[in-house]
Structure 1
Amino acid sequence: MNVSVIIPACNEEESLQSVIQAIKKIAPFEIIVVVNGATDNTALIAKQEGCKVLTYEEKLGINIGRAIGAKKAKGDILVFLDGDIVVPFEELNQYVQAIKDGHDLALNDLEWTMKRKIRPHVVAVSKYMLNLSLKRPDLTVQAVTAIPHAIKRSAAEEIGFENLAHPPLMQTLAILKGMSVVYPCSTDVIYTNRIRNTHKTLVPNSPFPFSTESILADHLKAFSHLIHQKGVRGGLTDGNRNRTIVSEYTPTLLKKERCKTSAIIPVGEERETIHLVIQEVQKAGVEEIIVVANGSDEITISRAREAGATVLVYPNRLGHNVPRAIGAMYSSGDICLFIDGDIVISAENLQHFIRAAENGVDVALNNLECLLDQVHPLHSVSAAKYFLNAISKRPDLTINTTTAIPHAIKREVIEKIGYESLIIPPLFHLKSLLAGFTVKAIHFVDVARTNRIRKEHLKTTGLPQSTERILGDHIEAIAYLLNQTTERGLFLKDTRRHDILSEVMRDEN
C-alpha cells in the first residue's frame, strides 16, 4: 500500500526540512505540502526536498489544507502532519502499519495528557465529550484534531474529503459508519507544539483565543450531525423519565400563600437518611419542605411526614429529576432549594445557597471546581459539564451546573425558563445562562464522595446507565443551543476558505 503524507504549512522554513527528512525514512510514495499564506521560504524548501507543492497566496484557514492535500493525494494510506513538529519515523511507521493491518483510522494516543496532575485544557475536554457521546469512551481524547494520524484513502472517500476540513465531524462520521478507529502510538505534540498568535489572542467579547473558538465550534458542528442522525439526545438513554406527568401537572402556587424558601427533596428508598436530611433543612430556616416520593417504601414516606415535610406520593418511579419539577410546581417559595434524600447536608452548608439567592444570585450552584485539582483523569460527567459551560462561553463555571445538588434557584427564573426544563438539569442551566440570569458557584459541598453508589452507576459494558443518561441530558442541552443559534453555536462565523476547497473538489471530480 502506497503512502501519501500531507503537510499544511505557513511560514515553517525553520522546521519544515527536518519534518520532511524524518518522513522520508518511511519511504512514502509522495509528500504533499500545501503552502498557504506563507511569506518566507516554506515553498522553496518543500520543492528542494522533492515534495509535491500546492501553493496558495492567501491563508486557507485551519484544516482546509488537509482536505485539499488529501483530495490531491494518490496513496492508499494518507498520513497527516504539521510543518512545525518533527515526528520520529519509528512512530510514523506505527500509524502506517495500523492502516496496513486493516484499520480505517489511526490516531495519536494522548490519553496520558488527561492523567497529568493539572486541569485539562478545554480542547481536550471537547474531544473527550465527543468521544463519550459517540459511545467510544475508550478513545478518551484521541482525535483527528491532533496530528499525526493516518486514514485509509477509501475511508476518506467514504467520509468525504471535504469533511476532513472539520476533524471532529470527520471522526463522528467515521464512528457512526462503524469504521475501525485505533490509536497505535503516542506522539508528544503537546510540549513540542509551537505557540502561535491564534493560541494567545482572545476573540473580542469571548473568553477564548481564536484557535480554541474554532475547535469548539467544530465540535458543535459534529454534535449537530450526531443529533441530526440520532435524535435530540444523540441516541443515548433518557432513563425512562415520565415527562408527560409534568406537562399535565398544574402549578399550585396561585392557590397557596407565598413563603420565602421551599426545599424540594426527591426520594426513593431513603429510610435511613430522609429524617436527618429534613432536620438539617429545618435548621437552615426553610419554611416549606416538599418531599416527592416516587416508588418509595412506606417507611421512607412515614419518616418524611413525621419529620414535618409535605409528602407528594407517586407509587411508581417518575424518572430522574422529574420529581424536581413536580416539587417546584407544588411549592410556594420565592427561592427553591434542591437537594436529595440520600445525602445529609448540614444546615450551615445549605444556608450559603439560600443567602446567595437572597442577595441577588439567580442560580446558586454547588462549587465543585476543586475536583479538577483532585481527580485525574477527569470524570466523564465532569467533562460534560465543563463542555457545556465552555460552549455557553462561561468557562469560569468549569464543572458547576444544576446537575449537582445542592443548588438554589429563584422562583422568577424557573417561571421564565419553564418548570419542565428542571427535568433536564443541563438544559435548565443552559437556558439560565442564555437568558442572562446571574449564575454563580457559591460554596463547596462534597456530594461526590458522599453519594450512595447505586446499580445504575456501575459499568457493565460501555457506559454506566447513569453516565449515559447524564450525557444524553447534555446533548439535549446542546441540541437546544444549536436550534437557537447555528451549527457553530455562539462562536464566530467560519472564515475558512471553503470556496477554494469546493473548487478543488469540483476540479478533481
Structure 2
Amino acid sequence: MYDVVIPACNEEKSILAALATVLKLPLRYIILVLNGCTDRTLELTRSIPDSRIHTIYFAEPLGIDIPRAIGALYARKLNSKGVLFLDGDISGDILYNLEKLLSALDQGVDMGLTNCYPYITHRINLVHLVLRFRANLNKEIGLFHTLGLATPTHGPHVLSAKALESIPPEGIAIPPLSLVWASKLGLSAQVAISLRHQDLKSPRKERKHARLIAETIIGDCVMGFALAHDEPLTRSLGKHQLLGYHPERRFDILKLWDEALEISHPFCEQHLIIPYQREMD
C-alpha cells in the first residue's frame, strides 16, 4: 500500500474535501503537513477518526513546497512503497485520477505527473511565459517528448520508493529540480493523467500572488538549468533575480527535520500528532 502527503496552510474551506477523496483510496498512511495555520484547518482534520492520519504540525509557515519535502522525508522514514502528493486546497472530484496515479506506481513508474494544461491553445501572457520555461527545462533534460509541459510543480503526482530514496530533500522542495534529478539518476518519469487546472478546484488567487508564483516557478526552472549542467545553483537571469516566494522557504527547518528523523530526535515528536500513538513501521 502507498501513502499520501497533503501539505496545507489555512485550507479550512477545502481540507475536508481533499481528505474525503483520499480516504476512499487504499492508502497506508495519510500524512498531513500543516504549517502556519491560523484558521480551523487543524481542528477540522483532527475531527476525522481515522488512524491512518498522521499530522505534522508547525505553527510557523514553512514556505512554498517545503511542507511537501517534510512529508516526503517522513514517508521515507515509514518505509513508504510510494507517495501520492496532493495539495490541501484541491477540492475537485478527482478520485478516478488519483487512482490512475497510484496505478502508475504499480506499473513501475518512479515519477508520475499530471498534465494540467491539456487541449488549451490560448493562455494569458504570464501563464504562457511560465509554461515556456517549464517546456525548455524538460527539453534541456531530454524529457519533453515524454512529459511535455508536465512538472511536479503543478498538480497531483506520485514518487516511487526509489525516487523518495534517491532525490535529495532540497530537490523535492524545489520541484523542477526533482525532474533534473530524475533525469540524472535514470528514474522513469511519465505523464500519468491529464486533468485541467480548473478541475482541481483550487481557489482563485489574487493577482500579486499569481505574479509571485510565476516568478518562483521561473526561478526554480533557472536553478534546474544550472543543476542540469552541474553549475552552481542560481536564480539569476541576466540582471534579474527571480526570487518570488523562494526566500520564504525554510530550508533550515527541512534540514533539521531530516537530521532529527535519522536519530529519532524529540524535535520530531514535538511536531507529530499520531492517533493512538501508532509506531512507525
Task: Pick the TM interval, shorter chain.
Answer: 0.7 to 0.9
Q: Does the 8 A contact of 1:162 with 1:505 survive in 2? A: no
Gaps of 5+ in 1: 203-207, 232-477
CA contact (8 A) 1:99 1:152 kept: yes
Cα distance, 1:169 vs structure 2: 0.5
Listed as ranges, the matches of 1:72-221 within 5 Å are: 72-73=74-75, 74=78, 75-86=80-91, 87-112=93-118, 115-119=120-124, 121=127, 122-138=129-145, 139-190=147-198, 192-197=201-206, 200-201=207-208, 209-221=211-223
1:481, distance to aligned residue in structure 2 (A): 5.5
**Is residue 2:32 matched to residue 1:41?**
no
Q: Deviations over 1:99-148 (max 9, x none)?
A: 111110100023515x4233561222221111111122221111000120
Aligned counterpart, 1:376: none
Match of 1:289 in 2: none
Equivalent-residue separation in structure 1 for 2:115 and 2:21 (angstroms) = 20
Which residue in the other structure is 2:14 paired with? 15
CA distance in structure 2 between the aligned counterparts of 1:25 and 1:187, rounded to whole angstroms: 19
Distance 2:138 2:117 in 1: 12
Pick from 232, 248, 253 the counterpart of residue 500 of structure 1. Answer: 253
Hey, what's the Cα distance between the residues in 1 that align with 2:38 and 2:235? 43
Is the partner of 1:228 in helix, strand or coil?
Answer: coil
Aligned partner of residue 249 in structure 2, secondary structure: coil
**Counterparts in 2 of 1:132 and 1:40: CA distance versus 1, 3 Å:** same
Which protein is bigger by CA-based radius of gyration? 1
> What is the CA–CA distance in structure 2 between the aligned matches of 1:18 and 1:481, rounded to whole Å?
39
Match of 1:334 in 2: none
Task: Classify the secondary structure of the residue corresponding to 1:6.
Answer: strand
Paired amino acid for 1:174: A
TM-score (norm. length: structure 2): 0.81
- Decide whether aligned partners of structure 1 residues 71 and 82 sit closer, same or farther in structure 2, where only a CA change above 3 A counts: same
- Give the secondary-structure state (helix, strand or coil) at the position aligned to 1:106: strand
Q: Given that residues 118 and 196 in structure 2 are in contact (C-alpha distance below 8 angstroms), is that contact kept between their aligned partners in structure 1?
A: no
Tell me: higher relative CO, structure 1 or 2? Use CA pairs within 8 A at least 6 residues apart.
Answer: 2
Whether contact under 8 Å (2:109, 2:190) holds in the other structure is yes
Aligned twin of 2:73:
71
Distance between the aligned counterparts of 1:213 and 1:119, measured in 2?
15
- Once the two structures are TM-superposed, the CA of residue 162 in structure 1 deviates from its matched residue by 3.1
Structure 2: gaps of 5 or more residues: 263-281
Runs of 4+ off more than 6 Å: none
Cα deviation, residue 3, structure 1: 1.2
Q: Distance in 2 between matches of 1:502 and 1:77?
A: 22
Report how many aligned residue pairs link the two structures.
249
Contact 2:31 2:56 in 1 (8 A): yes
Percent identical among aligned pairs is 28
CA distance in structure 1 between the aligned counterparts of 2:115 and 2:28, rounded to whole angstroms? 25
